[in-house]
Each structure stands twice: as C-alpha cells, then as structure tokens.
Structure 1
C-alpha cells in the first residue's frame, strides 16, 4: 500500500522533471452538471501524458547496478514514451515492447527519445509477456506501467497539484486502465477523505467493475475500444488493492460516449486529447448524477493523455459528430425518373442540409421495378435540425427507411 507520504516524496523527486500542468474550467460541462467542472490537462504534460511521473519516479530509485543493466517496458504508447524520456534524462538504455497496431506517432516519439522499440502482440498484455521474457534474458529491469508502488506514487502527484489548484474540489474523475493513476490519486487523498475519486473505464475494455465485485483482479471479457491507452486486460495487484481498500467506484462509458467527449473537449476547451484521455469527461456527460456529489462541490476531470494519431482523430471526430446528431444517414426510395435525384438534393439543400455523400442503388429486396434507392450522408446542425430535415422530406412525400 502507498500513502500520502509516498506521493509527497515522489513529488520532490519530480521537481524539474514533470510539468505542473494547468487546470482549465469548462463552462460547457459546468452548465451541464450544475457544478464547477475543471479539466486537469495532463495531455500537456511532457511526452503527452501523466506517465512520465510514474516512470521517472520508479527509474530514479533504481540502484546503480540496476541502472547499468538498463530497463524494459511494455506499452501501447504513453508509458512507452514516459519510460523512453525518463531513460534519456537518467542516461539509461531502454527497450520498449509495443503492440503491432500501436499508433505511429507514439512509435515515432518513443524511438525519438532514444529507446529501442519492438512491436509484438495485439495488446499491452501480450507485449508485457515479451517484456518479461526480455528482462529474464538480459537482466534489464522491468518498468511496469502500473503494478509497482513507486510508479503509482509518481502518478499520484497529479492529486497534489489538483488540491493546490482547486482547493475546494469535491470529486476527481480519473481514466482507468491498469489502475495506477487512480490508485496514486486515491492514496494521495488519504488525508482528504472529503474528496471522492471516481474511476472510468471503456465498457469494451472493463476489467475493474467485475474485479472489484469479485474481490480479486479478473480479466476483462474483451479489449475492443478506441481508447487504447486504457485497454488493459487485467488490473495490477498493487493498484487493485488500493482502489478496493479505498472503495473507489469504477464506471464504464461507451464508444459513443468517448467520441462525444473528445469532440466536446476539442470544440469547447480547444484541447486535443486521445480517447482514453477523454474518459473522465465522457462519464460526466453520460451520467453526471453518478459523478457530482450531493454537495455540488467542484469536479476535476483528468485529461490523462493527448497522444492521438491524426488518422484516429479524424475517425473519432466523425464518429463523435454522428453520435452528437451532426450527421444524418438517409435511405430514400424514389421513382427512377430523370431529375429525381436532383429534386431530392434540392429539398435537402432548401432545409439547410449539406450533402456529404450520395450512393445510388438500383437493386434490392425493398425496391420495385421502377424504383431506385438513394443513400445520403448529410451534415446537419444538430439533433433538432436532423428532425427538421426528416419531417420535411416525409411531408414532401419521400419514402424513408425506418431509423
């Protein structure tokens, strides 16, 4: 177990290494939940996430003999960059094992810090097996991404900054993968029992809810989420003990929740985060009642990372726009006559819809001999505008597929 003294010691060690990241009040989220909501911007941390805090704390405390053997780690990207940067600062050799589908910017950044990178497996858990084997073979010290007291104490320094920046904070909402960040924050708050910690996992990579219910670390049934930074199969023993003993609740959010949150943070807060970094905001947007305390005190959402592949960002933004009702998909059946498509497009344009994509289908089970189906993707101004377009087309006599 770790406690406030361990976190304070880590904070001293990190002076001049980790940035004191800013907090930013979100008016949009504050109005949504009826309490002040602040964003703790660890996406602006060195190497793009909170991971440098734990990696450096662990590695700086190695003995000289251990440092001479070098270090090894496994990560989807953020821990990899934290270890690689810490190794460069400390003058250590670092080998990093990353999944084969790791984001290209994370791979490039990790290599850019001077680490040797190998890609293996399809998940962090599989990469971790390879890292253990490398450690056994070479004697390199394994720097686990979350299952070590020093790592978790380093991550917990986020909480010390939050207490100074938002002194009346009532709840800190934290993305959870292996659990190191949430555990460190919970441990740091031992002397502040009035401050709640709420963990958040992606529903399609959620090991903690079942693990906490069972009283022991339990593997997640699936790992299929856009939030690769928190896609961890099994909780770590060290963070699990902390979260269980502190009775930290862990909620889950859908892929739609994550994409909507990422879009809101980008549009309203002007901040770029990765899907896992938006998990805390996603939980607040999905159901604020489970997050905001009865006293209405401020809520701090930790934006845990900002390392996102631009191609993934493009896909997530599109997904977020669709989830927010900004895209409308239509399947319209019309008579196959000259000018029918042009008339349909004119109707949509007259109602302010911007047609992004058109597809013509002349065969199908729902089509008569003289019918043609037209699939449209329309950019709208939101759910109300979607309803207006649908009502207008139906009033004009168009046959729309259900949904």
Structure 2
C-alpha cells in the first residue's frame, strides 16, 4: 500500500534537509539521549510539505487541469500552496476565519486563492468539500489520505539514516497523518523502534478513539496548540495508529509553553506550540538512557503570539512576578517598601501607586509592583522579606 522509498524520491526534489541534532538540555531533563528533528526549519515551516507534494505529484493530468482545493488551519495550506505552485496547479485554500495572519500570508505568497470561512476547522472543511463538488476541484485532505500519509512517513527514513541506534521516536499528533506515516514506515524498517504519540490534554482525539475502540468526535478542543486542535481523527490515520503506535502521552498548555521557552533559550529555535508537543512530553517518559528522537513538527507562529508566550513563560517560571502590597498612605512608606525590595536584589519594572484610591476607613493603599526576578525561589524570598517587614500582600 505504501512505497516510502518512491515517496522520498519525490519529496526530496523540494524539501530542505532537516538534520538531527543532539540536545544536552533536553537529554538532562529526561535522563535520555535526546536528538531533535527540526521540521520547523522545513520549507514552508513544517513537515506538511512532504505529504502535500507527494499527493499532488500523483494526481492525473485531468485532476491537475481542473485544480485542487483543501482545508487547513495553516501548515497544510502552505504545503499544498507551495506544491501546487511548483507543479503548475491552480489551488484554492479554505482556512478558518481566526487563522493567524502569518499562515494566511504564507499561503498567499505561493499564489493560492485563500478563502476564509468558519469558526473552526470542521466548518472550514465542510465548505471546502462543498466548493470541490460545485467547481470540480480535487479535494486534498490535510491528513486522512494514503498519499499524504505516505509523504509524511518519509521523515522516518531520514531519522534511521542519520541515527544508527534509535530506541524511541516522539511525535506530535493532530489528525494523525504524521504519526501514521512515520509509525508505519519506521516499523517496516525496525519493529523494535518504539513510537510515542503526544496530544494536548484538551484535544486528545486519537487517544480517546483508541480507548473507545472507534473514532469519536470530541465535544470541543481548547489548546494553544492550534495545529493539533482536531476534534476527530481520520479513518486511515486511526487504523494505522492503533496498530503501530506503542504509547501515548498527553501534555498541558503550560507544559507546551515551557517546552517552547526552553527550545528558544537553549537552542535559539522558534517552534509553534503544536510543534513542541514532543519536547513537552520528555519529562513524562518512564524510561532512561535511551536514544530518543523528538520531532519538532512546525515553526509557523505569529510574532505577537511569540511575545505573549514569552511573557507568560517568564511569569510561569518566576522570571517576572507581580505583587500587590498594602501600605499606609503616609509619605515615605513607598520608599521604604522599595528599599526592602532592593535588599532582595529584584529589579523593579513598573509601579502602580495611586494615593487618591486610599481607603478612607483604613488609610491604606495598594501598590502593584512588577519585578524582574531569578526564579520561584527568588520570588518566595521576596515574599518572605516583605511579610517579615509587616506588609500585607494581596
């Protein structure tokens, strides 16, 4: 059914070579030997180009002449648009209305016609299928298609070619096209290599399907990992994943966020939240001293969102903290409080102090102070010092 060797010959014509690299930081974190497969550095910013190009390359002349259409939250869209442009095929891409602009612009630059429709992927997909029927386009599924799955599986060939001894491969999971292709391919090469799928806690549609023994549709999905926010996995992807994937891990948005921050700080690489699922799962592994490949699946992320993530990450890790302290509304008390904070070596970023809002009953005022700190231990030390000085912290 699958010919991964031929698929690799096709996709090698257009993709970047994303070589494995060893991560000291993530290796120490998980007590394993962790190698990162950086598909965030792939052409179009994600692995999706592989399946898209493989699929479009195999269309017949009639299908190519009539044009193609697809539905995607972004990465598949760019992969299809790029591939269609390379092969001279007219492409229409349906994207949800809330798709980040970087993904919309990334699709438009390859010459595709973009249609923004629906509040979520499912509404967008239904509209794309309707347009395909009306206009005679060939619909290119984002994940539940054998040719797409075959193209994604080419990643496995590259992993085993670069790393002689592979024990585990950890893979982000949305609709399942990536893990289905990779698991099917890698098990053909060596059944001893274990494949682990990772989903957001609130979008674990594949795990739920495997638990129930059938495909189910989640009532809703809510995660910062928008590329894996899929309520219902595919028929083909489910059938392959249940037979070839060895284990599953769920990660929270906070764990995804910490993985993103660590990847940026330690390796100077930017990934989108969905792309970092495999890194977020490393601290949850129940084995040690194994050769582990973590697949970072994509890096298409809006710059303003990066800023939000970094700020949130700094708060989560205690690098920035905000406290509200109640002090008497008396001249000199704010200066005394700041002197006590200076003793802890924290750097003041901002102060919100409005004496006009003092309570007439208690004659006190709340002062909101944002501080640059050195982690949670430092934050706790600051709190202890302030409390011992007799201040009230809200």
Q: TM-score, normalised by structure 1?
A: 0.93
Kept in 2, the 8 Å contact 1:280–1:303? The answer is: yes
After TM superposition, the structure 1 = structure 2 runs for residues 154-303 of structure 1, keeping only pairs within 5 Å, are 154-191=151-188, 192-285=190-283, 287-289=284-286, 293=287, 296-303=289-296
Measure the CA separation in 2 of the matches of 1:283 and 1:277: 12
Kept in 1, the 8 Å contact 2:73–2:95? The answer is: yes
Q: 1:39 pairs with 36, 39, 44, which one?
A: 36
Kept in 1, the 8 Å contact 2:358–2:365? The answer is: no
Aligned counterpart, 2:347? 354
Measure the CA separation in 2 of the matches of 1:333 and 1:10: 66
Kept in 2, the 8 Å contact 1:207–1:221? The answer is: no
Kept in 1, the 8 Å contact 2:272–2:299? The answer is: yes
Larger mean CA deviation between 376-385 and 100-109 belongs to 376-385
Kept in 1, the 8 Å contact 2:359–2:365? The answer is: no
Measure the CA separation in 2 of the matches of 1:58 and 1:13: 10
Measure the CA separation in 1 of the matches of 2:369 and 2:262: 25
After TM superposition, the structure 1 = structure 2 runs for residues 3-402 of structure 1, keeping only pairs within 5 Å, are 5-191=2-188, 192-285=190-283, 287-289=284-286, 293=287, 296-360=289-353, 369-401=362-394
Measure the CA separation in 2 of the matches of 1:318 and 1:394: 26
Q: CA deviation at 1:326?
A: 1.6
Q: Deviations over 1:2-26 (max 9, x none)?
A: 5xx5222211211221222111211
Measure the CA separation in 2 of the matches of 1:180 and 1:206: 15
Q: Deviations over 1:56-106 (max 9, x none)?
A: 001100010011111101111111100000000100000001111111111
Q: CA deviation at 1:337?
A: 1.4
Instruction: Give unmatched runs, 5+ long, in structure 1.
Output: none
Larger mean CA deviation between 222-231 and 53-62 belongs to 222-231
Q: Deviations over 1:177-197 (max 9, x none)?
A: 101101111001123111111
Kept in 1, the 8 Å contact 2:271–2:299? The answer is: yes
Instruction: Give unmatched runs, 5+ long, in structure 2.
Output: none
Secondary structure of the structure 2 residue equivalent to 1:190: helix
Q: TM-score, normalised by structure 2?
A: 0.95
The verdict on how the C-alpha distance between 1:144 and 1:399 changes in structure 2, with shifts beyond 3 A counting, is: same
Measure the CA separation in 2 of the matches of 1:160 and 1:374: 59
Measure the CA separation in 2 of the matches of 1:355 and 1:398: 18
Measure the CA separation in 2 of the matches of 1:25 and 1:134: 46
The verdict on how the C-alpha distance between 1:363 and 1:255 changes in structure 2, with shifts beyond 3 A counting, is: farther
Q: CA deviation at 1:111?
A: 0.3
Secondary structure of the structure 2 residue equivalent to 1:172: strand
Kept in 2, the 8 Å contact 1:37–1:299? The answer is: yes
Measure the CA separation in 1 of the matches of 2:246 and 2:127: 31
Measure the CA separation in 1 of the matches of 2:330 and 2:144: 66
Measure the CA separation in 1 of the matches of 2:94 and 2:275: 22
The verdict on how the C-alpha distance between 1:367 and 1:208 changes in structure 2, with shifts beyond 3 A counting, is: farther
| Cα RMSD for the two superposed structures | 1.9
Measure the CA separation in 1 of the matches of 2:129 and 2:150: 22
Kept in 1, the 8 Å contact 2:183–2:245? The answer is: no
Secondary structure of the structure 1 residue equivalent to 2:281: helix
The verdict on how the C-alpha distance between 1:117 and 1:367 changes in structure 2, with shifts beyond 3 A counting, is: farther
Larger mean CA deviation between 298-307 and 325-334 belongs to 325-334
Kept in 1, the 8 Å contact 2:323–2:369? The answer is: yes
Secondary structure of the structure 2 residue equivalent to 1:160: helix
Larger mean CA deviation between 207-216 and 360-369 belongs to 360-369
Measure the CA separation in 2 of the matches of 1:365 and 1:10: 71
Larger mean CA deviation between 181-190 and 241-250 belongs to 241-250
The verdict on how the C-alpha distance between 1:365 and 1:336 changes in structure 2, with shifts beyond 3 A counting, is: closer
Matched length: 393
Q: CA deviation at 1:355?
A: 2.5
